[in-house]
């Protein structure tokens, strides 16, 4: 595994723990659809939360959340529709009152705990 991939996986674990600590139920991880992947999907009450996780070792090249471009958000929206369509075919799948896209930015410093910033409802 490349170092970059390991940092990304670590960030996803940190983000999943962060969401759970806020009472969200993790529904899916690294779901692959046509044209991309959704990092995390969670339930926050009756809201489906699609979470894009961005992890960096520092901020020298900008804050991790800055990497979530309008094109990336459009791809996330399209993939969320695919996930919902696939889930609707699963027996017992509950409907969601709304769908929200959050970004969890994780900065992993050389020493100490990871810094987590949760941006709610970016789309």
Q: Which two tokens stand for residue 92?
A: 């017992």
- pLDDT class for 115, splitting at 50, 70, 90? very high
pLDDT at res. 92: 54
Please provide the DSSP assignment of 42-101 as one string: EEETTEEEEEEEEEES-STT--GGGG--HHHHHHHHHHHHHHHHHHHTSTTPPP-SEEEE
Domain of residue 37 covers: 3-119
pLDDT per position as a tens digit, 87-104: 866 545 667 889 999 999
CATH number of the domain where residue 24 is located = 3.40.1350.10
pLDDT at res. 95: 79
Count of residues making up the chain? 123
pLDDT at res. 91: 44
| Average pLDDT score over residue span 16-43 | 96
Q: Tell me how many degrees the CA angle 86-92-95 measures, rounded to the nearest 5.
A: 70
Is 76 in contact with 121 (CB distance < 8 Å)? no
Give how many domains the chain has, as a whole number: 1
Using a cut of 0.85, tell me whether the model's pTM lies above it.
yes
pLDDT at res. 89: 60
pLDDT per position as a tens digit, 59-79: 888 999 999 999 999 999 999
Closest CA to 114 of 3, 5, 16, 1: 16
């Amino acid at each position: 595994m490349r170092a970059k991939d390991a940092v990304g996986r670590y960030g996803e674990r940190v983000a999943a723990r962060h969401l759970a600590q806020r009472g969200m139920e993790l529904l899916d991880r690294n779901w692959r659809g046509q044209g991309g992947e959704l990092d995390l999907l969670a339930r926050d009450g009756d809201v489906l939360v699609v979470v894009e996780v961005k992890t960096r070792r520092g901020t020298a090249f900008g804050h991790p959340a800055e990497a979530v471009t309008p094109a990336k958000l459009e791809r996330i929206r399209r993939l969320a529709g695919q996930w919902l369509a696939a889930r609707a075919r699963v027996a017992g799948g509950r409907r969601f009152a709304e769908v929200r896209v959050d970004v969890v930015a994780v900065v992993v410093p050389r020493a100490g705990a990871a810094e987590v910033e949760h941006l709610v409802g970016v789309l």
